[in-house]
Amino acid sequence: MKVLVVGGGGREHTIAWKLSKSPHVDTIYAAPGNAGIAGLGECVSVDAEDKKALLEFAQENEVDLTVVGPEAPLVSGIVDLFREEGLRIFGFDSKGALLEGSKVWAKQFMEKYDIPTGGFAVFDNHCAAQNAIEAGKPPFVIKADGLAAGKGVLICQTIEEARGAVETVMQKKQFGPAGDRLIFEEFLEGTELSVIAVFDGKDYRLLVPSQDHKRAFDGDKGPNTGGMGAYAPVPVLDHSLEEKIRIEIIERTLSGIQSEKIKGAGVVYFGLMLTSAGPRVLEYNCRFGDPETQVILPLLKTDLFEVLFEATESNLESVDFENSNEACTCVVIASGGYPGSYEKGKEITGIAEAEEAGCMVFHAGTKLENGRTVTSGGRVLGVTAMAPTLREATDKAYAGVDRISFEGCFSRRDIAWRALEK
Ligand code: AMP
Ligand code: GLY
C-alpha cells in the first residue's frame, strides 16, 4: 500500500517511521517531509496546507491512505475534500477540526455535553473584554478563538498584562482573524496530562497517556513553546483516575462527536489539567500531539497502518490493539532563540552516534543541503529512547542528546522530572 503523510515535523517523522514497520506499507510519501523522513520514503515539495495539490498528488500516485499530521489542513477541510473525491484519509472533517480550530466552539461543545472544564466567558469586542479585566482579578487566562500556531494562550499575572494581551490580540490582531473573538478562562492549577485517542466514529482506543513540557527552560521557566520533551507513562495516572477520565471526559466527548455528526476517523487529543477537584479539559486538539507522538508511537505494539486503516473503515474493533508496558522519553533539541527568532542552516553532527547509543532521533526542523543535515526550524530533533523503566529511558535519551550538536543548540535537562522525583 502507498501512504501519504501530510506535514514535516517530529510528529510526522514518527508517524512515517511507525508506518514503515508495517508489512502492509510499501511506499511512504511525505509532503513536505524533512531530512529524517527522506530516509524512509519520498519527500514531495507540496505544502501541507495546499489541499488541492495534495489531492492531485494522491490521485496521480494512487495513494491508498493519507494521514494528516498538523491541524491547519484539517481545519481548512482536507478531509472533506478527499472524502468527496472518494479517497481514504485519516482525520476528522472541518466540523470536527473545530474542536481545535475554535476555542469558543470547543468550550460550547464541552458545556453542551457536560464535559468537565474550567469556567469561561466569550468576548467579541475589546471594550467588553477590557471591562471584564477591570472587574476580575489575576491570573487571567486569555485565549484567541482561532488557530495561532500554539501561541494564542496568554496567562497574565497582572491587570496591566491582561489589558496588553487584549490589545495585542483583538486590536493589533497579532494572530489575524484568530483574535476576532477571545475567551477568558478560569485559571486551573494542577498537573497537566495529554491523553490521545483514536476514534473511528463508533469505537476508540487510547495511546499511552503522556506528559509534555511546554516551557522553554528547566523548572518550567521561560516562555511557552510547542513542547520541549515528553514522557510516558505518567505515574500520577492510576487506574481509578483513568476510569474517571474515560467516563466523564473521553466517552462524553466521543458521543458528542457522534451527536454533532462529525465525519471521518481521527485523533482526539485531550489536554487535561488534573486539579484537586478532578480532571478538567484545558483544550482539545484534532491531531496527534508533538512531541507526545514521539513517545506514544514507539510504545504502541500494534501495526499503526492497521490502526489507521481500520479506523477509516469504522472497524477499530477488529484490531488487536496493544500498548507496551515499557517507558519512553523524548528530549527536544532546539535552535538557540526558540520560541523567539533563531538562525537556520546550522550543520548538525552526532545523529548516527546517538542512534548507536540506542536512541531514535526524530527530525523536526531539519533539511538536507548538499548532503549535509542542517537546521531549518525552532524545534530541530526529538531524541527518544525506550527502556523498561522511565529512569533508564530518560538516561538513555540524554546520552543521545549529549552526542548531538549544532551551533546554538539547547535542550531542557529535566524532562520527566515530575515522575522521576517520585
Ligand atoms: P493550550 O494551547 O490551550 O494547551 O495552552 C497552552 C498552555 O497554557 C497549557 O498547556 C497550560 O499550561 C496553559 N493553560 C491553558 N489553559 C489554562 C487554564 N485554564 N489554566 C491554567 N493554565 C492554562
Ligand atoms: N504538545 C502539544 C501539542 O501538540 O499541542
CA of 130 to the centre of ligand 1 (A): 21
Task: Give the residue numbers spanning the domain of 147.
Answer: 119-185
Q: What is the pLDDT of residues 250-282, one digit of tens each?
A: 999 999 999 999 999 999 999 999 999 999 999
* Distance of CA 182 from the midpoint of ligand 1 (Å): 14
Total domain count, the chain: 2
192 lines ligand 1 (CB under 6 A): yes
Ligand sitting nearest the alpha carbon of 229: 2
| CB-ligand 1 contact for 151 (6 Å cutoff) | no
100 close to ligand 2 (CB < 6 Angstrom): no
Last residue of a domain, one of 163, 185, 207: 185
**All 3 cell numbers of residue 230?**
515528553
Which residues, 6+ apart, have CB-to-CB distance to 123 below 8 Å? Answer: 129, 132, 170, 181, 182, 183, 184
Residue 52 sits in the same domain as residue 7: yes
* Shared-domain flag, residues 85 and 133: no
Q: For residue 21, what are the CA distances in angstroms to 298, 300, 305?
A: 11, 12, 9
Final residue of a domain: which of 44, 65, 98?
98
Which residue has a Cα nearest atom 4 of ligand 2? 289
How many of the other CB atoms lie within 10 Å of CB of 344? 14
- Type of residue numbered 51: K
93 lies in the same domain as 174 = no
CB-based contact 87:24 (threshold 8 Å): no
Q: Using pLDDT thresholds of 50, 70 and 90, give the confidence band for residue 128.
A: confident
Q: What is the domain-level CATH number for residue 163?
A: 3.30.1490.20
Close Cβ partners of 124 (under 8 Å, ≥ 6 residues apart): 180, 181, 182
- The pLDDT score that the predictor gives to residue 176 is 87
Give the pLDDT confidence score for residue 132 in this predicted structure. Answer: 87
Q: Judge if 34 and 87 occupy the same domain.
A: yes
Residue 92 sits in the same domain as residue 146: no
Q: What spacing in Å lies between the alpha carbon of 214 and ligand 2's midpoint? A: 8
Average pLDDT, the chain: 96
Our answer on whether the CB atom of 212 is closer than 6 Å to any ligand 2 atom is yes
pLDDT range class, residue 391, cuts 50, 70, 90: very high
C-alpha 22/C-alpha 357 separation (Å) is 25
| pLDDT score recorded for residue 364 | 97
Confirm whether 177 is domain-assigned: yes
Report the nearest atom of ligand 2 relative to the CA of 283: 5
**For residue 359, which of 388, 384, 335, 329 has the smallest C-alpha distance?**
384
* Helical pair 126-135 and 159-166, crossing angle rounded to 10 deg: 170
pLDDT at 174: 87
Instruction: Say which CATH number the domain at 62 has.
Output: 3.40.50.20
Whether 150 shows a pLDDT value over 80: the answer reads: no
- Grid cell locating 316: 477499530
Do residue 37 and residue 124 come from a single domain? no
Q: Residue 48: which of 90, 4, 105 has the closest Cα?
A: 4
Give CA–CA dist 269/250, Å, rounded.
Answer: 10
Q: What distance in angstroms lies between residue 111's CA and the mean position of ligand 1's atoms?
A: 18
Q: Tell me, what amino acid is at 346?
A: K
Q: Ligand 2, atom 1: nearest CA belongs to which residue?
A: 290
Domain-located, residue 40: yes
Task: Give a yes or no: residue 362 inside a domain.
Answer: no
For residue 226, the CA-to-ligand 2 centroid distance in Å is 6
Percentage of residues in the chain with pLDDT exceeding 90? 90
Identify whether residues 78 and 165 lie together within a single domain. no
pLDDT at 4: 98
The answer to whether 161 touches 95, Cβ cutoff 8 Å, is no
Q: Cell numbers of 170, please?
A: 483583538
Give the tens place of pLDDT for each residue, 309-343.
999 999 999 999 999 999 999 999 999 999 999 99
- 94 and 128 in a single domain? The answer is no
Burial of 318 (0-12, 13-18, 19+ CB in 10 A): exposed
Could you tell me the distance, in angstroms and rounded to a whole number, from the CA of residue 383 to the centre of ligand 1?
25
C-alpha cell at 303: 501495526
Residue 30 within any structural domain of the chain: yes
Q: What is the whole-number distance in angstroms between the Cα of residue 273 and the centre of ligand 2? A: 14
Q: Is 289 in the pocket of ligand 2 (CB under 6 A)?
A: yes
Indicate whether residue 80 lines ligand 2 (CB < 6 A).
no
Residues 11 and 83 in one domain: yes
90, 127: one domain = no
47 and 80 share one domain: yes
Q: Whose CA is nearest to atom 15 of ligand 1?
A: 282
Is 94 within a domain? yes
Nearest CA to ligand 1 atom 8: 153
Contact between residue 386 and residue 400 where contact means Cβ atoms under 8 Å apart = no
- Degrees to nearest 5, angle at CA 137 with 133 and 143: 55
Q: How far is the CA of 289 from the centre of ligand 2 (A)?
A: 4
Are 131 and 78 within one domain? no
Domain boundary among 185, 205, 234: 185
The stretch 14-41 carries a mean pLDDT of: 97
Contact 123, 145 (CB under 8 A): no
